[in-house]
Chain A
């Protein structure tokens, strides 16, 4: 069982031993127990935090059931996004088409909930049975006077990344449909944060304190009307670049809005992010306030974080994330408390991402693209890691192996963003690595 699928040899790299030639951005090998999801999953996670929109899943029931309120994307207003709406296609719809059902569902829902906008997710079979989702959306939009967007997220059309792109295309249609004259020049859109555990609120608060106006948050705690006027912002600040770069690029092309990629994970990256935004505006007031903010927050949290360093120093981790960008931040953040990364991988990284990972990692580090449980378990054991940082499917596996775990994905319960988030993260890592339970387990 220690082997690697032959087809996957070029998706596993050992720094030092192998010549770097990472093969990535490929479809998963059939028969692999991939940790990846599908196009629908990508679109759904990106759009779902828009809390005043209707999210209708067009297809058989499963896609709606499995995505019903599974991510903690918090709302400060309506909670409509936490309901599950499905056209629940039946056999006869597969034969005769589901357009009528879709139309009726949309009308019923819009009448009942008066959403500000609607997204219709086309799942695997919708395209195949030939439903004209675009036409239905257009008709309903005309009849009900709200934007209704088709999201062509048939699962087989690619990976989660393609789903992000589809979602961005829908968002792009919403942008630019409202008045922007009240927006000042020191203004941004926050892209690519989904308000898991209230993280968007924390970031928004930083910008408020800096004197920067936040026009829209896309999509954490998102609002249709804010996104409509997002083109009035002076800058797009993009986190989780995997999902939102498409939108940022389209907005640059169409509206000339520049964008910058940032990460709000870890003290170093958060400080850099805020400073970069401040620099962009070239305003003395903002710069001063930003520096003050960073100093204030760092003074509060860094000493707290360092308290955990003695226990965590020298501990090793496996990091397996969706987008590679998250891994960069994690490596830096772990370094603050003296921890190293022994195995690192992503579901959807590209050549540049892996090249950068290689540069950041120590000799001997194993780098993986689109990995699977056998590899993750074997490499984690081989490297004797102390904690696994990953998502829902990896947690029980890590525990079975006697390895600590921290969820850096959407199952996290504590905000991991910004200065306070770094303390939360370190606390969580510490509690798992130092848990007394490991005294009772066998570590092979």
Chain B
């Protein structure tokens, strides 16, 4: 249907985003806060923001998502939202009884100039925060950056409030997770367990946004990084930050606050990025890589070997968030595929540099755009001018896929029309195997569909 509305001819756009490949900061802060145990995210703004974020997360995870709002009125927008936030804090602790309230701002509360830090302090001073309970905050103006920026800002807020250095280092490593699925966080824990490393993973949405059916609606499911764990991040001997856009700033803050050295690496998506993750883990914890992991890697390489002819030279368009796109592009290059178009609504020069490095040898002419006007409208125009064999991205790619009749692999946020992302990881070697399986299924189904009767193959 977009076919009829997306012209092939590409014109410079001055001030307009059509079919965005991003959303706003607050939802990222909300998602990050959900990865803390016993935490109630709180949106300081109009109640629509909170409703939209909850709905969007619910559609993606098919899980109840709890978050509260300051419910701004006309009055609060004139006189400031202090009274609303303090009343909210009081009400939330009284009725919903979380351990932590994680406040994030909105475009509205930022524009009217609410000092959320000061308001939270006032709530503490006025005794609205019960003993042993916490209110943390971060600033997430919607007109700066994207949902990834908001995620990053909430991680910074978490470190600011909780990380403490006792002066005695613990034999543990922090893993600061970028914006990935609960299944991915579970897989990362699985990998470090196999390696016998003690880690604090934060945030951790496993057992929160993939909670089992129990007959109970747990307001605070059993998962999530706990307060003692978060506090202890200041005593960890090292931090691994996964995904530069989402986690680098938090890792830096933790280093300057508690002197925890860190390394920022890519999300472990695909073969090479997982290799780097395993090596980084092994170095940081000074442990050997167990054979179970080496063998898993071997199985992944085996699939690539077996199926190389099906990957070879296939043109791919991908869009989404930078931390995913960077290692994913690298995986496609490793598979001998051709990532020809790459789009992210999140701005940042690093993205362009990293992608160009990855593509320098194999695909120097690839079209890469992020930030302003980098949206699905543009991606569609590129595809119309020179088609691809595969599209990878969130659910909104389905319009282009349908209009242009191109196989479509759903990865990223949000996925509104399929399940699986919460349960089956795409990180690590096993995650890469799953990505491969999906790509192969799509390409081979297409080959089956399009082949003539005489060339229709049984054995592929």
Which residues does A use to contact B, with CB under 8 Å? 1, 3-7, 27-41, 59-68, 70, 78-80, 82-91, 93-94, 100-102, 104-105, 108-109, 112-113, 123-125, 128-129, 154-158, 373-374, 377, 392-393, 395-397, 399-402, 441-444
Q: Knowing A66-B23, A109-B16, say if A38 contacts B67 (CB, 8 Å).
A: no
Given contacts A62-B24, A83-B377, list 15 more A-B pairs with CB under 8 A. A6-B94, A30-B71, A33-B96, A63-B52, A82-B2, A88-B15, A88-B372, A94-B141, A94-B143, A101-B14, A374-B96, A377-B217, A397-B64, A400-B214, A441-B213
Please state if B112 and A128 are interface contacts (CB–CB under 8 Å). Answer: yes
**21 A-B residue pairs with CB within 8 Å:** A30-B88, A38-B48, A59-B142, A60-B24, A60-B107, A61-B22, A62-B25, A62-B142, A63-B48, A65-B20, A70-B59, A86-B18, A87-B16, A124-B45, A392-B59, A396-B61, A396-B62, A397-B217, A400-B211, A400-B213, A400-B218
The answer to whether A31 touches B70, judged by C-beta atoms less than 8 angstroms apart, is: yes
Q: Are A59 and B107 in contact (CB under 8 A)?
A: yes
Contact of A105 among B16, B45, B51, B64 (CB under 8 A): B16
- Closest beta carbon of chain A to B100's beta carbon, Å: 14
Residue of A nearest to B23 (CB): A65
Q: Which of the residues B19, B53, B66, B107 comes within 8 Å of A125, measured between beta carbons? A: B107
Interface centre among B13, B24, B47, B87 (most CB of A within 10 A): B47
Residues of A within 8 A of B108 (CB): 124-125, 128, 155-156
Per a CB cutoff under 8 Å, which of A93, A124, A401 touches B46?
A: A124
Q: A74 to chain B: closest CB distance in Å?
A: 11
B91 pairs with A30, CB closer than 8 A: yes
Are A442 and B70 neighbours in the complex by a CB distance under 8 Å? no
Q: Chain B residues near A90 (CB, 8 Å)?
A: 143-144, 372
Interface flag for B401 (CB, 8 Å): no
Is there an interface contact between B51 and A62, defined as CB atoms closer than 8 Å?
A: no
Tell me which residues across on chain B come within 8 A of A123, comparing CB atoms.
107
Across the interface, do A31 and B54 meet the contact criterion of CB distance under 8 Å?
no
**Of the candidates A32, A83, A444, which one forms a contact with B71 in the assembled complex, judged by CB atoms under 8 Å apart?**
A32
User: Is the pair B215, A66 in contact by a Cβ cutoff of 8 Å?
Assistant: no
Q: How far is the CA of A88 from the CA of B372 in the complex (A)?
A: 9
B73: chain A residues within 8 A (beta carbon): 27, 156-158
Name the residue of chain A whose CB is nearest to the CB of B52: A66
CA–CA, A38 and B15, complex, Å:
26
In the complex, chain A residues whose CB is within 8 Å of the CB of B88: 30-31
- With A62-B23, A82-B1, A396-B63 known as contacts, the answer to whether A38 contacts B213 (CB < 8 A) is no
What is the number of residues of chain B that contact chain A, defined by CB distance less than 8 Å? 84
Are A393 and B74 within 8 A (Cβ)?
no
- Chain A residues with CB under 8 Å of B460's CB are none
Residues of chain A with a CB closer than 8 A to B396's CB: 68
Contact yes or no, A155 B46, CB < 8 A: yes
Q: Which of B45, B144, B146 contacts A91 (CB 8 A)?
A: B144
CA distance A87 to B15 in the complex (A): 6
Closest to B150 in A: A62
Complex CA gap A70/B19 in Å reads: 13
- Which residues does chain B contribute within 8 Å of A3, judged by CB atoms? 95
Q: Which 5 A-B pairs have the closest CB atoms?
A: A38-B48, A62-B24, A31-B88, A155-B46, A31-B91
Write out the residue numbers on chain A whose beta carbons fall within 8 Å of the beta carbon of B64: 373, 393, 396-397, 400
Name the residue among B1, B52, B70 with the largest chain A CB count within 10 angstroms. Answer: B52
Q: Confirm or deny: B68 has a beta carbon within 8 angstroms of a beta carbon on chain A.
A: yes
List CB contacts (< 8 Å) of B80-129 with chain A. 84-85, 87-92, 94-97, 106-108, 111-112
What distance in Å separates the Cβ of B87 from its nearest Cβ neighbour in chain A?
5
B107 touches A30 (CB 8 A): no
Q: In this assembly, does B26 line the interface, its C-beta being within 8 Å of a C-beta of chain A?
A: yes
Which chain B residues (1-45) contact chain A, with CB distance < 8 Å? 1-2, 4-5, 7, 13-20, 22-27, 42, 45
Are A393 and B215 within 8 A (Cβ)? Answer: no
Query: Nearest A residue to B56 by beta-carbon distance?
Result: A66
Contact residues in A for B91 (Cβ distance below 8 Å) = 5, 7, 29-32
In the complex, what distance in Å separates the CA atom of A59 from the CA atom of B22? 14
Please, which residues of chain B bring their CB within 8 A of the CB of A125? Answer: 107-108, 111, 143
Contacts of B216 in A (CB 8 A): 400-401, 444
> Are B15 and A105 interface neighbours, CB within 8 A?
yes
Taken together as a complex, chains A and B put the C-alpha atoms of A60 and B345 apart, in Å, by 13
Q: How many whole Å from B2's CB to the nearest CB in chain A?
A: 7
A86 and B17 contact, Cβ closer than 8 Å, known pairs A5-B94, A27-B71: yes
CA distance A400 to B208 in the complex (A): 12
- C-alpha gap A388/B2 in the complex (Å): 36
What is the bound-complex CA distance between A78 and B2, given in angstroms? 10
- CB-CB under 8 A from A86, the residues of chain B are 16-18, 20
Query: Complex: how many Å from CA A38 to CA B107?
Result: 14
Query: Is the Cβ of B47 less than 8 Å from the Cβ of A38?
Result: yes
One of B16, B72, B146 near A156 (C-beta < 8 A):
B72
Inter-chain CA distance A320–B340, complex, in Å, is 48
Query: Is B66 in contact with A33, judged by CB distance below 8 angstroms?
Result: yes
A59, A79, A125, A129: residue with the most chain B Cβ atoms closer than 10 Å: A125
**Known: A61-B146, A124-B106. Is A84-B72 also a contact (CB below 8 A)?**
no
A397 to B221: give the CA distance in the assembly, Å: 13
Is there contact, CB below 8 Å, between A32 and B23?
A: no
Q: How far is the CB of B105 from chain A (nearest CB, A)?
A: 12
B424 contacts across to A, CB distance below 8 A: none
| Whole-angstrom CA separation of A1 from B70 in the bound complex | 20
**Cα distance A108–B13 in the bound complex, in angstroms:** 8
B76 to chain A, nearest CB (A): 7
Alpha-carbon distance between A66 and B53 when the two chains are bound, in angstroms: 8
B368 beta carbon closer than 8 Å to chain A? no
Would you give the shortest CB distance from A207 to chain B, in whole angstroms? 28
Contacts of B111 in A (CB 8 A): 94, 124-125, 128-129
The answer to whether A38 and B49 touch across the interface, beta carbons within 8 angstroms, is: yes
Docked CA distance A429–B323 (Å):
42
A399 and B213 in contact, given A5-B95, A125-B108 (Cβ under 8 angstroms) = yes
The complex places the Cα of A7 from the Cα of B92 at a distance, in Å, of: 12
Q: Quick check: A30 and B62 within 8 Å, CB to CB?
A: no
